[in-house]
Chain A
Amino acid sequence: MAEKITGAEALMRALEHEGVNTLFGYPGGAIMPTYDALYDHKKTLNHVLVRHEQGAVHAAQGYARVSGKVGCAIVTSGPGATNTITGVADAMIDSTPIVVICGQVGVAMLGTDAFQEVDVVGVTQPVTKWSYQIRRPEDVAWAVSRAFYIARNGRPGPVVLDFAKNAQTGMVEFEPANVDFIRSYDPYPRINKEAIEKAARMINNSVKPFALLGQGVELGNACDEVRAFLEKAQIPFGTTFLGLSDMPSDHPLNMGILGMHGNLGPNVMTNQCDLLIAIGMRFDDRVTGNLATYAKQAKIIHFDIDESEFNKNVKIDVAVHGDCKESIPEITALVDEAKHDSWISGFKPYAEKEYNKVINKAINPTEGPLLMGEVVSRVTEATGNKAIMVTDVGQNQLFACRYFKFSQPRSVVTSGGMGTMGFGLPAGIGAAFGAPDRTVCVFCGDGGLQMTIQELGTIMEQGAPVKIILMNNNFLGNVRQWQEMFFHHRYSFTPMDNPDYELIAKGYRIPSKTVVDRADLAAGIQEMLATPGPFLLQCAIKEEDNVFPMTPPGANVDEMLLG
């Protein structure tokens, strides 16, 4: 007879079987048997103790984004579980593959309002790809395997496993499971040949094609395929924030960023092209602006792995349902080699105009206080455009996304769909573990940093080489900008008194520096990058600066304000 082990030990073996080697977590009563088992697996399962469960999930997200693997977080029941909800919802809307394991009271106590009992499956169902309660040790192997299969396949997403205490302590003969098929879920639907042919005809007939690339390209590991397609037919493209590292920033067909704070050219040209080719993006309202006027002149082809995205926001002409790693090569084979030189050169005046009116002033100012744009620009230059950019949310995020440059995939970690303040610092920790060979730069504001500032403790303990660039403007800057623009300058609760961040960093034994003068910026950045391990670089930023260009909420995509 096979050896009998506890459900908790079975979980350890099941995680190892899935190739997990890093866990972000926080212990507590209902998950103690699992932590006890973990004690014997420290060599294979590197557990990173975070300082708040939200941090565990964001770290798992950062880890997943940069590594392409499933991130894993482990927390206790009740408050431990509810503290993960923000991260789980963030992973859902940004399609990030993570598995969150929560402790739960024993089955006999379920529904009795037991200590630290919360209906985790009920609470998480709306914000997970799958949520399941493990009630018996016999189910551990199957549930873990299914969880990882669901999280990583198809459109990735978060899975929550609610692990009842009796299932952790009960004994079972463990046999690893290999879920590789779910009858009710087809993660990689067959590509419809007719759709491919129709799309190819439309592309070949188009004079002014324009492609929109989202994170789906990266999630599908299809960057090379998409690049070959765009180059063959010479199709200019724009990217979403999450798709920023799909292609090198300096690719000649890369016209820039789509959406509210994106670049002028791609947004204006969206309403001038004759064909829009959307690949792995979901027409978020931050990208489209007013739907009633969005690309009405164009035919639209939409490549997506999630059928429910078709016609959700924008009416499309052809849907190509499936994995873009499969569908794009099929379309590449059918499209003609083409040139669209005059169409492509039409983007140029907009790029020049934006450069002269906005970009140059943002990244090369010569007087006045420091600006976020120049800080980002100097950091990306100093890293040779090879670093991973992690951002928090707010102006820091918008400036970072606008001015950071990329040369390889999986270099963007930002909270797109949720816009979760406090995401940056813990996600940066996860990124440092997910890509230990790369430089990780976290850009954050004074507001967002303080939402998860306790993770400095994690950074200290782990010596995680996270380069934190705090762009301190003494305001909740992004909200202040909207108050200035749309609420008559009424700064309702956006100015902030700040603590001494260098002193805080010192408390956490993290080296730090504050840059106030432009002349000291380059040296500050050099010191940050040259210092091994973590570093906090505080930049004193102009207090009332605004991010431009901007499409005001609800305005048409081509109606960008330049200043």
Chain B
Amino acid sequence: MQQEQCPMGDYKKVGGQCGDCSTCGKCDRALKRGERPAEKVKKVEPIMEQDNSTKLYTFLIYSENIAGLLSQISAVFTRRQVNIETLNVCASSTPGVHKYTITSFCDEEMAIMLTKQMEKKIDVLRANYYTDDQIFINETCLLKISSPIMLANSQVCSIVRQYSARIVEVNPTYATIEKTGITSDILALFNALNTIPECVLQFVRSGRIAITKSKVEHLDRYLAEREVRRKEERR
């Protein structure tokens, strides 16, 4: 058979050899039925490229108070292979409406996609994403530290003071320390205390909470619009 008769000849070659089909009889794919030709070395593509446009986004999601939504929302992130860094869920200022505050590293395209896919869930009211300059952020941490070490090492107290943390309870076994602030300060406090051997017994962060800096309350506006629509639709 002629090379030109290869059906691939009509268009560009695919896969770099004469035909990804077997019909022309020219290429090694048709050599012998069932025989595996010598392996070609395949270029291994990295599964996920490191993307410099990745940023920490804060997602604020409002939903109706219906059971099972948390797993639906987290599933949106899992499906798109985005890790959730922090997650906070509680009732919002609007009765019956729950607020989710989620942080994740991703690029803006992904943030848009995640937001739309969360809003697609029937009982999600609104989902938006923000960068740190668009929101007021706070986070709390609690540290349980060893009292004997605190008493033996004056550094402990000076670190606590230096980071404006608060001692909320002390007993002969342990002290409880609380700090509210931004994540980097909280981590710095923990890292400083953690340099002292056997000082930190437990450490926990609340995850980020945030409110928007915008002068418009988007949720209220949305709910008002929906009420107007409800009345229109009834008519």
Contact = CB atoms under 8 A, between A and B. Distances in A.
A484 to B, nearest CB: 6
B72 interface: yes
Given A488-B34, A489-B29, A491-B34, A183 B117 contact: no
Contact of A559 (B11, B72, B79): B11
B221 to A, nearest CB: 13
B20 A308 contact: no
A121 B68 contact: yes
B49 to A, nearest CB: 14
A115 interface: no
A131 B125 CA distance: 17
Interface string B202-235: 0000000000000000000001001001100110
A185 interface: yes
B120 interface: yes
A530 interface: no
Contacts, number: 94
B162 interface: no
B22 A484 contact: yes
B22 A186 contact: no
A489 B14 contact: no
Interface in B96-110: 109
Contacts of A306: 120
Interface in B51-97: 63-64, 68, 71-72, 75, 79
B200 interface: no
B196 interface: no
Contacts of A559: 11-12, 14
B23 interface: yes
A186 B123 contact: no
The A contact surface, by secondary structure, is loop
Interface string A372-403: 00000000000000000000000000000000
Interface in A203-247: none
Contacts of B46: none
Given A121-B68, A488-B29, A488-B36, A185 B223 contact: no
B124 interface: yes
Interface in A166-205: 180-186
A4 interface: no
A184 B137 CA distance: 26
A562 B6 CA distance: 10
B125 A563 contact: no
B68 A182 contact: no
A89 B32 CA distance: 41
B120 A122 contact: no
A461 B176 CA distance: 73
Contact of B7 (A183, A488, A563): A563
Given A122-B71, A552-B20, A182 B122 contact: yes
B68 A125 contact: yes
A37 interface: no
A183 B117 CA distance: 17
B149 interface: no
Contacts of B63: 184
A334 interface: no
A308 B113 contact: yes
Contacts of A125: 68, 71-72, 75
A560 B71 contact: no
Contacts of A126: 72, 75, 79
Given A125-B72, A485-B20, A555 B29 contact: no
Interface string A304-320: 00111011100000000
Contacts of B124: 184
A504 interface: no
B229 A485 contact: no
B161 interface: no
B23 A563 contact: yes
Interface in A458-501: 484-486, 488-491
Contact of B112 (A311, A484, A488): A311
A558 interface: yes
Contact of A555 (B14, B109, B125): B14
Contact of A556 (B12, B35, B37, B79): B12
A561 B34 contact: no
Contacts of B230: 181, 183
Contact of A486 (B20, B68, B112): B20
B75 A561 contact: no
Contacts of A185: 122-123
Contacts of B20: 485-486, 552, 561
A308 B116 contact: yes
B8 interface: yes
Contacts of A281: none
A429 B214 CA distance: 56
Nearest to B126: A184
B187 interface: no
Contacts of B113: 308, 311-312
Nearest to A490: B34
A64 interface: no
A184 B64 contact: yes
Interface in A506-563: 546, 552, 555-556, 558-563
Interface of B: 7-8, 10-12, 14-15, 20-23, 29-31, 33-37, 63-64, 68, 71-72, 75, 79, 109, 112-113, 116-117, 119-120, 122-125, 223, 226, 229-230, 233-234
9 contacts: A126-B72, A181-B230, A488-B36, A489-B29, A490-B36, A555-B14, A560-B11, A561-B20, A561-B21
| Cβ-closest 4 pairs across A and B | A308-B116, A184-B125, A563-B7, A489-B33
